[in-house]
Amino acid sequence: MAERRVTIGWPEGLHARPASVFVRAAAAVGVPVTIAKAGGTPVNAASMLGLLALGAEGGEEVVLASDAPEADAALDRLAKMVEQGLDELPAA
């Protein structure tokens, strides 16, 4: 299983607008991805309810993971987005 540990770059964390942006990006990468707080229970990264239930704040570490064969590139893109607090998924 591939995973990336990143610190949330959005000051407001994964709430409201950043959560919406991230959920759309997670669905767009084409592989199943989970997200969890460090040491927490993973949730589907493409689920708005799951993401909001994490309660992940700005500056906290999260773990993105996937066991799909093409996971590395997808996780790299999502990790960059989270870490830099981007409003859209970075190019491949």
Positions marked active-site: 15
DSSP readout, 14-76?
A: SSHHHHHHHHHHHHHTSS--EEEETTS--EETT-HHHHHHHTPPTT-EEEEEE-STTHHHHHH
Q: Are strands 61-66 and 43-44 parallel, antiparallel or unpaired?
A: unpaired
